[in-house]
Amino acid sequence: MYGFSKFYSKFYKYPLPLLLLSLWLVAVFLLSDRPAHSQHTATSNKEKYQSSLLAKRIMPSTLTENVRKTVLENGLTVLTKEVHTAPVVTVQAWYKVGSRNEEPGVNGIAHQLEHMMFKGTKNRPIQFGRLFSALGSDSNAFTSYDQTAYYGTVERNKLKALLVLEADRMRNSQIEPEQLASEKRVVISELQGYENSPEYRLNRAVMKAVFPNHAYGLPVGGTKADVEKFEVEQVEKYYRNFYSPDNAVLVIVGDFQTANTLETIKEVFGKLPRQEAGVISPSSLSLNTQHSTLNTQHSTLSTQHSAFNTPIVLREPGAGRLLQVVYPLPDANQPDVPALDVMDYILTEGRNSRLYQALVESGLASEVTASVTSLRESGWYELLVTAGAKQDLKKIDSMLSSAIANVAEKGVTSEEVERAKTQLAADVILSNRDITSQAMRLGTDETTVGDYRYTDRYLAAVRLVKPTDVVAVINKYLTKEARTVGFFEPTQKRITEVADKPHSAQTTENFSPGAPVLFSEVMKYLPPVDLATDAIAQVLPQEFKLTNGLRILLLPDRSTPTVTLSGYIQAGTEFDPEKKAGLAAFVADNLLNGTKSKDVLTIAKVLGERGASLDFQTYREGVHIEGDSLADDLPILLEILADVVKNSTFPAKELELHRQQTLTDLQQELDEPSEVARRVFVQSIYPKKHPLHTFPTEESLQQIQRQDVIDFKTKHYRPDTTVLALVGDFDLDKVRSLIKNKFGDWEVSGQAPTLKYPPVAMPQKIVSVNPVLPDKAQAVTYMGYTGINRYDPRFHSALVLNQILGGDTLSSRLGAEVRDRQGLSYGIYSSFQALKNVGTFLIEMQTSPEDSSKAIASTRQMLQQIHQQGVTALEVETAKRTLISSYNVSLANPEELTDRILMNEVYGLDKVELHSFTDKIQKVTLTQVNQAARELLHPDQIVVVTAGPSVLAEKSIR
Give 7-37 as a DSSP string: GGGGGTTSSS---PPPP-PPP-TTT--PPP-
What integer is the mean pLDDT of 64-73?
Answer: 95
Least confident among 14-23, 390-399, 717-726, 839-848: 14-23
Q: Among candidates 797, 681, 761, 766, which has minimal Cα distance to 939?
A: 766
What integer is the mean pLDDT of 557-573?
Answer: 95
| Whether the Cβ atoms of residue 763 and residue 941 lie closer than 8 Å to each other | yes
- Please state, in angstroms and rounded to a whole number, the distance separating the CA atoms of residues 164 and 128: 12
- Please state, in angstroms and rounded to a whole number, the distance separating the CA atoms of residues 824 and 946: 14
Task: Give the sign of the dihedral formed by CA 431, CA 432, CA 433, CA 439.
Answer: positive
- CA contacts within 13 A on the Cβ side of 862: 29
Confidence of residue 559 (pLDDT cuts 50, 70, 90): confident
- Please state, in angstroms and rounded to a whole number, the distance separating the CA atoms of residues 493 and 318: 6
Q: Which residues contact 537 (CB under 8 A, 6 or more apart)?
A: none
The per-residue pLDDT for 804 is: 96
pLDDT at residue 616 greater than cutoff 70: yes
The per-residue pLDDT for 6 is: 26
The answer, as to whether pTM is greater than 0.75, is yes
More confident residue, 810 or 459: 459
What integer is the mean pLDDT of 129-143?
Answer: 91
pLDDT at residue 506 greater than cutoff 60: no
pLDDT at residue 955 greater than cutoff 80: no
Confidence of residue 43 (pLDDT cuts 50, 70, 90): very low
- Please state, in angstroms and rounded to a whole number, the distance separating the CA atoms of residues 464 and 59: 14
For residue 602, with 0-12 CB atoms within 10 Å meaning exposed, 13-18 middle and 19 or more buried, which class applies? Answer: middle
Helix/strand number for the chain, H first, E second: 33, 22
pLDDT at residue 275 greater than cutoff 80: yes
Confidence of residue 17 (pLDDT cuts 50, 70, 90): very low
Least confident among 15-29, 642-656, 760-774: 15-29
Average pLDDT value for the chain: 87
Of 637-651, 663-677, 762-776, highest mean pLDDT: 637-651
The per-residue pLDDT for 951 is: 56
- Please state, in angstroms and rounded to a whole number, the distance separating the CA atoms of residues 621 and 569: 9
831-887 pLDDT per residue, tens? 999 999 999 999 999 999 989 999 999 999 999 999 999 999 989 998 999 999 999
The per-residue pLDDT for 533 is: 55
Confidence of residue 911 (pLDDT cuts 50, 70, 90): confident
β-pairing, 484-490 with 312-316?
Answer: parallel
What integer is the mean pLDDT of 725-744?
Answer: 97
Confidence of residue 505 (pLDDT cuts 50, 70, 90): very low
| Whether the Cβ atoms of residue 760 and residue 822 lie closer than 8 Å to each other | no
- Please state, in angstroms and rounded to a whole number, the distance separating the CA atoms of residues 882 and 64: 31
CA distances from 185 to 103, 157, 224, 947 (A): 21, 37, 9, 20
Confidence of residue 277 (pLDDT cuts 50, 70, 90): low
Least confident among 39-53, 157-171, 909-923: 39-53
Phi, psi (rounded to 5 degrees) for 388: -70, 170
What integer is the mean pLDDT of 319-335?
Answer: 95
What integer is the mean pLDDT of 756-782?
Answer: 91
More confident residue, 255 or 520: 255
Q: Which residues contact 637 (CB under 8 A, 6 or more apart)?
A: 563, 565, 607, 612, 614, 627, 628, 629
Rounded CA Rg of the chain: 27
What integer is the mean pLDDT of 609-623?
Answer: 95
The per-residue pLDDT for 26 is: 26
- Please state, in angstroms and rounded to a whole number, the distance separating the CA atoms of residues 59 and 45: 21
pLDDT at residue 24 greater than cutoff 50: no
The per-residue pLDDT for 805 is: 97
645-663 pLDDT per residue, tens? 999 999 999 999 999 999 9
Assign 618 to helix, strand or coil: strand
More confident residue, 328 or 276: 328
More confident residue, 551 or 287: 551
Phi, psi (rounded to 5 degrees) for 781: -120, 135
- Please state, in angstroms and rounded to a whole number, the distance separating the CA atoms of residues 375 and 100: 10
Confidence of residue 808 (pLDDT cuts 50, 70, 90): confident
